[in-house]
Amino acid sequence: MATMDGFFKLQGVGGPNQIPDKFTTSESPKYKFLFWTKFKFRTESPTHQGTGNVETNAFAIKQMGRPNPIITYQDANYYGYRTKVATKTDFATFNMSFYDDSANRAHDLFEKYMQAVSPITQIGNANNLFGSQTIGELPNDARLGPIEEIELFHGYKGPNKTTYKFMNPRITNIMLDELDMLGSEVASVNLTFVYDSFHVSRDR
């Protein structure tokens, strides 16, 4: 195997063949580790919501999922010819994992969201819990959820990036790592979201 002008060249039966993928030069694969995120809240927002610039984004994000849409089909019979017809698109869920940083930016996300959707979490005295609700009504301007959108930025080749925008994301599960005197790992804040739709844009 050899390369010529950024193309792989394979010597096979019948002469040399070129595979036009330029992975070794100008069209290298994207790395998993270069990404950052930004939130846009409808309700009271955390102190830090992230930014679109990797240099000013202070979130200690560990992992984040990308869209995994599932298209559902049903069997249909057209005059004896059986085929499948798409009936809906399920956008499934995506996960986010943050380091539980000492500035409490990830913890602030968890706190603000729970205070918005669950009034009982705002009460700091156990004797005052009677009559409080575990789930509450959102304001009219936040009826689609406390968060309007989450943007995931995936950087590649210098300033270029792909932007995934998740519309009306709603948290379905929050998991804070268990604390353990025998462990030395850092703690994390894990969030699972459902959402209504996504939009993808690219710099190029």
Read out DSSP for 128-176?
Answer: G-TT--SS-PPPGGGTT-SEEEEEEEEEETTTEEEEEEEES-EEEEEEE
pLDDT at 204: 72
Whether 79 and 21 map to the same domain: the answer is no
My answer on whether 16 and 42 are in the same domain is: no
Q: What band does 6 get if pLDDT is binned at 50, 70 and 90?
A: low
Residue 90 shares a structural domain with residue 176: yes
Judgement on whether residues 22 and 113 belong to the same structural domain of the protein: no
Domain of 197, in residue numbers? 31-202
Q: What is the pLDDT of residue 79?
A: 87
Identify which of 98, 95, 71, 99 has the alpha carbon closest to the alpha carbon of residue 85: 71
User: What does the alpha-carbon distance between residue 117 and residue 134 come to, in Å, rounded to a whole number?
Assistant: 8
Residues 76 and 118 in one domain: yes
Are 35 and 85 members of one domain?
yes
Note the pLDDT tens digit of each residue in 51-100. Answer: 999 999 999 999 999 999 999 999 999 888 899 999 999 999 999 999 99
Could you report how far apart the first and last alpha carbons of the chain are, in Å?
Answer: 31
pTM attached to this predicted model: 0.85
Cα separation values, 158 from 33, 63, 105, 193, Å: 14, 21, 27, 30
Task: Give the number of other Cβ atoms within 10 Å of residue 96's Cβ.
Answer: 22
